[in-house]
A and B are shown apart, each in its own frame.
Chain A
Amino acid sequence: MMNENVKFFQGNETCAEAALYAGLDFFAGYPITPSSEIAEHLSHRLPQIGGKFLQMEDEIASICAIIGASLTGHKVMTATSGPGFSLMQEALGYAIMTEIPCVIVNVQRGGPSTGLPTHASQGDVCQTQWGTHGDHAIIALTASNHQDVFAMTVDAFNLAETYRTPVILLFDEVVGHMRERLILPKKGEVPLVKRLRTSVEGGVDYHPYLPREDGRLPMSDFGGVHRYNVTGLFHDMWGFPSDNPRIVQDLLHQLVDKINNNVHQIARLKEYYLEDATTILISYGSSARSALHVVENHRLRGDRLGLLELQTLWPFPYGLIREKCVNAKYIVVVEMNMGQILREVKMAVDQPEKVFLANRIDGVFITPMDIRNLLGLIQGKGV
């Protein structure tokens, strides 16, 4: 009677299983609360399938190890939390510059610094976009329940391969640690994007940074049949350093445009009751669960409340947000930080003065009551 595809998993275990489903065969990491269960789970599971699990000396080594392993042809991931994610920023920029696919999970905790290791926060949203230096674009996905943690994790691997870029999975302590039902998709049920490899044979010149007509860059497993250079410096189609202004400008455009010009392909969001909503909540990650709780309860009373749940945080889908919120009288961003997505929403909509923040920054998971109180205030009904 028990369906073996039905699991009762922690969010972190779900992420680890989804990564395996997506083809993960190399993980290097350094355990840190609240992400440690991802490493723990993979330390059992990867050896079972012939994959490699490495516990590194720190987070800098962890991200460097996965970048190297990806270049040799593996699907790779590392997992950390705020302090470790800070250490990874330099190499994150290297992966962006060298266009090496990889997935980095940040299960957020309270910050700055070592902050609140075991408590909920969504304070790393802007760090994910701008933590590493220089102009660049990034893809960051998030989820509020385990079925979506699974879907977004598989998606992260697919997007990393499609755009040859690091993808950040920005989860949080609540989703990472809570347990709920997960229905494991069957093999083949969710499409997977394979590594695009060059058709250039061994012994023939291979240009690692010469895009095809569709803009994509076929890869050659490093250490295989081709010799080529990889550098964090601006580089030409051979991968050799260059400060030629034309080459510099073109490469920077390639890095940013390949993501920002595809914002509609990368945008993932869920809509609840937006058709007739006069007040729209915008939320993401675990906060979206509290927001949905409020929306479902208020709908029972006939209140025209809707929810827009963001699953892609970066690139931020400004156009879609503007379009969805055009008829809303009030927009309330629900998040556990001091307004990091609020700022983006204000930039997206026509009337930024109708955007409000319902937040919590004390390590306590935002409650439906917190949101309800704010709604009462802005609608002039009091708490």
Chain B
Amino acid sequence: MLLSGSGGQGVITAGIILAGAAVLHENLIAVQSQTYGPRARGGATRSDVIISDSDIYYPKVIQPNVLVCLTQEAYNTFYPIIRPGGLLVIDTGFVEPKKSVDARQKALPIYQSVMQEIGRPIVFNICMLGVVLGLIDLVKPKSVMKILETQIPRTFLEINRKALHLGMKLAAGNQN
């Protein structure tokens, strides 16, 4: 799986949370790695997550089964490498899909929904995770919440829970 966007959107954090949930709560093998530039914000960022039931050697994603693009630059860069038949998730507020790809493409208003329902952009990445978990059977949302409980201040837990569920709801409304 490849989560891509711009520095500061939280795609690296989202990848860490997802892979951590797989390892710590679902007894799976997972590796998370990233490619980023020297800037704290802006620039194209990718977070690679591989979840498997056997050992993982090469830790980067070559052909993602799941590709998430949260910016136009990320979309332009990464859409050509998606595995044919894979799942492509884009945010309609940031990405204008140019070409048709040989994949199941889901364009959802993730950012817009977060701003309308929660009003806090910092949970954008968790809402995106909710969308992914809603679209494919990967790890249980409960496992993701368990990771969040140990990693973020309690005062932020509720909006993260909301964001995760909002994402799943968005995905459910879009299941074909």
**Among A8, A119, A177, A365, residue most surrounded by chain B Cβ atoms (within 10 Å):** A8
- A129 on the interface (CB 8 Å rule)? no
With contact pairs A6-B23, A8-B19 given, residues A289 and B57 touching in the complex (Cβ less than 8 Å): yes
Residue from the list A2, A118, A174, A368 in contact with B33, Cβ < 8 A: A174
Inter-chain CA distance A296–B56, complex, in Å, is 11
Inter-chain CA distance A179–B22, complex, in Å, is 12
The size bracket of the interface on A is 20 to 34
Q: Interface of chain B, helix or strand or loop or mixed? A: mixed
> Taking CB as reference atom, which chain B residue is nearest A363?
B35
Q: Interface of chain A, helix or strand or loop or mixed? A: mixed
Contacts of A2 in B (CB 8 A): 24-25
Min C-beta distance of A305 to chain B, whole Å: 13
- Asked whether B24 lies within 8 Å of A6 as measured between CB atoms, the reply is yes
> Taking CB as reference atom, which chain A residue is nearest B48?
A178
- Asked whether A296 lies within 8 Å of B16 as measured between CB atoms, the reply is no
- B60 on the interface (CB 8 Å rule)? yes
- A359 on the interface (CB 8 Å rule)? no
Inter-chain CA distance A174–B31, complex, in Å, is 11
- Asked whether A177 lies within 8 Å of B38 as measured between CB atoms, the reply is no
Contacts of A178 in B (CB 8 A): 31-34, 59
Inter-chain CA distance A117–B30, complex, in Å, is 26
Inter-chain CA distance A290–B24, complex, in Å, is 25
With contact pairs A6-B24, A8-B20, A181-B23 given, residues A118 and B36 touching in the complex (Cβ less than 8 Å): yes
- Asked whether B57 lies within 8 Å of A179 as measured between CB atoms, the reply is no
Min C-beta distance of B52 to chain A, whole Å: 11
- Asked whether B20 lies within 8 Å of A179 as measured between CB atoms, the reply is yes
- Asked whether B60 lies within 8 Å of A179 as measured between CB atoms, the reply is no
- A357 on the interface (CB 8 Å rule)? no
> Taking CB as reference atom, which chain A residue is nearest B22?
A8
- Asked whether A179 lies within 8 Å of B32 as measured between CB atoms, the reply is yes
> Taking CB as reference atom, which chain A residue is nearest B15?
A179
Min C-beta distance of B74 to chain A, whole Å: 17
Q: How many chain B residues touch the partner (CB < 8 A)?
A: 22
- Asked whether B30 lies within 8 Å of A181 as measured between CB atoms, the reply is yes
> Taking CB as reference atom, which chain A residue is nearest B39?
A118
Inter-chain CA distance A239–B139, complex, in Å, is 62
> Taking CB as reference atom, which chain A residue is nearest B62?
A367
- Asked whether A117 lies within 8 Å of B38 as measured between CB atoms, the reply is yes
Inter-chain CA distance A174–B58, complex, in Å, is 10
Inter-chain CA distance A118–B40, complex, in Å, is 12
Residue from the list A118, A179, A292 in contact with B37, Cβ < 8 A: A118
- Asked whether B59 lies within 8 Å of A289 as measured between CB atoms, the reply is yes
Min C-beta distance of A75 to chain B, whole Å: 29
Residue from the list A7, A33, A118, A180 in contact with B30, Cβ < 8 A: A180
- B29 on the interface (CB 8 Å rule)? yes
- Asked whether B29 lies within 8 Å of A367 as measured between CB atoms, the reply is no
Min C-beta distance of B16 to chain A, whole Å: 6
- A194 on the interface (CB 8 Å rule)? no
Min C-beta distance of B5 to chain A, whole Å: 16
Interface digits, A343-383 against B, CB 8 Å rule (1 contact, 0 not)?
00000000000000000000001011100000000000000
Min C-beta distance of B71 to chain A, whole Å: 18
Contacts of A369 in B (CB 8 A): 62
Besides A179-B20, A181-B30, 18 more A-B contacts (Cβ < 8 Å) are A2-B24, A2-B25, A8-B16, A8-B19, A8-B23, A8-B30, A117-B38, A118-B36, A177-B33, A178-B32, A178-B34, A180-B30, A290-B57, A290-B58, A293-B57, A293-B58, A367-B60, A367-B62
Q: 27 A-B contacts, Cβ less than 8 Å apart?
A: A2-B24, A8-B20, A8-B23, A8-B30, A118-B37, A174-B59, A177-B33, A178-B32, A178-B34, A179-B16, A179-B20, A180-B23, A180-B29, A180-B30, A180-B31, A180-B56, A180-B59, A289-B57, A289-B58, A290-B57, A290-B58, A292-B57, A293-B57, A365-B60, A367-B60, A367-B62, A368-B62
**Top 5 A-B residue pairs of the complex, sorted by shortest distance between their CB atoms:** A178-B33, A293-B58, A293-B57, A8-B20, A179-B32
Q: Which residues of B contact A (CB under 8 A)?
A: 16, 19-20, 23-25, 29-38, 56-60, 62
